[in-house]
Amino acid sequence: MPPRWTVSMPDISVPDTPAIKAAVQAVEPYLLRTLADFVACPSLSGQEGPAAEFFESALAQLGLQSQRIVLDSDALRHYPLFSTPCCPDGGRYNVLARHVPARPIGRSVLFNGHLDVVPTGPQQLWQRPPFEAHVRDGWLYGRGAGDMKGGLVCALAAFQALRGMGLQPAGVVGFNGVLEEECTDNGTLATVSALKRAIGKAQLTAFDAVIIPEPVDESMLTAELGVFWMYADITGRPAHAGYMTTGRNPIEAAQAVMADLKALEARWNLPENRPTHFRDNTHPINFNLGQVHAGEWNSSVPCQARLGLRIGLYPTDDVDAVIREVEDTMRATLAGLGGDLRLDVTYEGFKSPGCIYDLETPAMRTLAAAHAAITGRAPAQIAHPAVTDGRYFRLMTDMPVTCYGPVARDIHGIDESVSIASLLTVTATMVQYMVQWCGVEPYVPPC
């Protein structure tokens, strides 16, 4: 049974779906222009300043005043979901703005998304420079266009579309742009910590729902994997290449380590080892070798090889137990090779459990109904093979949350792009959601 909409204002005509779609079409130029300018702000993890400043200015143009939530890793270390930083705090900050009606009578929602993007790789592999957004064949290209500046701009465009109809939400609507989701997610942890402190001091109330507009193909997440990053330093015995057999080559040892890790990965992906939410995904667990640094000289058996690894785990797994199993596997491999091989493991970046979302809450059922109203079909429900900011809200608060965002291609790859048609669909769904969840009231432009 679909949820019932109870929030309304006297004598306010609630817009129907055709009116919402027309209003979203009207803001398409704003959406594409804003997203292109957003993409043009390079914002690698640890260097999000330009994107944060842009997001502040975009919110200000909507008449929304932002507050900065400065990242303070030392103040967050006591949280179980804290991850070891990959870069200095450096005064970096999240951007949080709230639309607050004079007399809020509707329910509230927070749109939470990350400002940072991953490295581009060699720019010559891109058809155009990666931070030079351009449109081709119905797609907007550029690093971060899909993951996930497009989703954040959908939320801004939805708010603008309501304004275009002479309306605004009758409940509180928040917009939160966060730091370093791509390496630790400590940005969203900083916002959740700030919200919990403020709620504890009765400075504000919790949001009634959270939507993370990640590029998940207009679906809603039922679950997501956990992730941790590790660095494995394998030290061997160097020697002249002419006397190679007297040395112990750590690069060759690293190859054996990866072979055994891949065998462990294959076992975890067996059907009998996949939990219910991931039963239909044939390869949810991925052990990714993301970095290799090794060797000093072509004619020398090298001293050391360093592997940068990203390890996935199920939401039913304990992170520390998985870490021990992976380490034990690596040490067993090296012991089997014999000789003078030493393993040193360090952890930096993600140390994140997975989570399972509850899509049966009124907030999430309303989101599904809003998507169905716009598209004529219920959204797919998927288990995600990666980790998102949503877990902080799910595991640390009572706020209903899921990810719902546009269709994108080649995220973390070359020529990343986002579907313009999907951006419009997601924007319209967000408008429909605010109408149904928050209610609407007349928008009176400032004098």
Would you say 219 and 154 are in contact if contact means Cβ atoms under 8 Å apart?
Answer: no
Quickly tell me which residue has 């270390």 as its tokens: 77
Give the model's confidence band at 6: pLDDT under 50 very low, under 70 low, under 90 confident, else very high: very low
Alpha-carbon span 162 to 441, nearest angstrom = 10
Give the model's confidence band at 3: pLDDT under 50 very low, under 70 low, under 90 confident, else very high: very low
Residue 6 lies in a domain: no
* For range 111-136, the mean pLDDT: 98
Q: Give the contacts of 265 (CB within 8 A, at least 6 positions apart).
A: 285, 286, 287
Long-range contacts of residues 32-35, Cβ cutoff 8 Å, at least 24 apart: 32/135, 32/140, 32/420, 34/58, 34/153, 34/156, 34/157, 35/133, 35/140, 35/145, 35/149, 35/150, 35/153, 35/418, 35/423
Give the containing element (helix H, strand E) for 117.
none
Residue 8 lies in a domain: no
| Nearest in space to 116 (alpha carbons), one of 362, 349, 282 | 349
Per-residue pLDDT tens over the stretch 57-88: 999 999 999 999 999 999 999 999 999 999 99
Q: Which of 352, 367, 387 is the last residue of a domain?
A: 352
Residues 80 and 187 in one domain: yes
Give the model's confidence band at 178: pLDDT under 50 very low, under 70 low, under 90 confident, else very high: very high
Task: Identify the pLDDT of residue 198.
Answer: 87
Residue 3 lies in a domain: no
* For range 133-141, the mean pLDDT: 98
Residue 10 lies in a domain: no
Number of H helices and E strands in the chain, helices first, is 11, 22
Dihedral through CA 315, CA 177, CA 69, CA 226, nearest 10?
10
Per-residue pLDDT tens over the stretch 301-324: 999 999 999 999 999 999 999 999
Quote the percentage of the chain above a pLDDT of 90.
92
Per-residue pLDDT tens over the stretch 279-295: 999 999 999 999 999 99
Residues 348 and 359 in one domain: no
The DSSP annotation for 398-446 comes to S--EEE----EESTTSSS-EEEHHHHHHHHHHHHHHIIIII-EEE----
Alpha-carbon span 323 to 261, nearest angstrom = 12
Residues 335 and 363 in one domain: no
Give the model's confidence band at 5: pLDDT under 50 very low, under 70 low, under 90 confident, else very high: very low
Residues 42 and 144 in one domain: yes
Alpha-carbon span 279 to 226, nearest angstrom = 16
Residues 22 and 149 in one domain: yes
Residues 426 and 366 in one domain: yes
Residues 331 and 237 in one domain: yes
Domain that holds residue 33: 17-222+355-442
Per-residue pLDDT tens over the stretch 405-424: 999 999 999 999 999 999 99
Task: Identify the pLDDT of residue 29.
Answer: 98
Amino acid identity at 153: V
Residues 365 and 434 in one domain: yes
The C-alpha R_g of the chain, in whole angstroms, comes to 24
CA angle 9, 14, 15 (to 5 degrees): 155
For residue 259 the two structure tokens come to 């072979």
Give the model's confidence band at 2: pLDDT under 50 very low, under 70 low, under 90 confident, else very high: very low
CATH number at residue 298: 3.30.70.360
pLDDT above 60 (res 93): yes
Residue 40 lies in a domain: yes
pTM comes to: 0.95
Dihedral through CA 310, CA 315, CA 316, CA 322, nearest 10?
10
Q: Which of 303, 337, 352 is the last residue of a domain?
A: 352
Task: Identify the pLDDT of residue 231.
Answer: 98
Task: Identify the pLDDT of residue 10.
Answer: 52
Alpha-carbon span 434 to 436, nearest angstrom = 5
3-state secondary structure of 195: helix
Split into its structural domains, the chain has a count of 2
Would you say 438 and 106 are in contact if contact means Cβ atoms under 8 Å apart?
Answer: yes
Task: Identify the pLDDT of residue 446.
Answer: 79
Residue 4 lies in a domain: no
Residue 370 lies in a domain: yes
Residues 32 and 118 in one domain: yes
pLDDT above 60 (res 374): yes
Per-residue pLDDT tens over the stretch 26-53: 999 999 999 999 999 999 999 999 999 9
Residues 153 and 233 in one domain: no
Give the model's confidence band at 203: pLDDT under 50 very low, under 70 low, under 90 confident, else very high: low
Which of 12-21, 25-34, 182-191 is predicted least confidently? 12-21
Alpha-carbon span 372 to 218, nearest angstrom = 11
DSSP helix, strand, coil percent of the chain (3-state; round to 5): 35, 25, 40
Mean pLDDT in the chain?
95
* For range 153-173, the mean pLDDT: 97
CATH number at residue 362: 3.40.630.10
Enter the DSSP assignment of 63. Answer: T
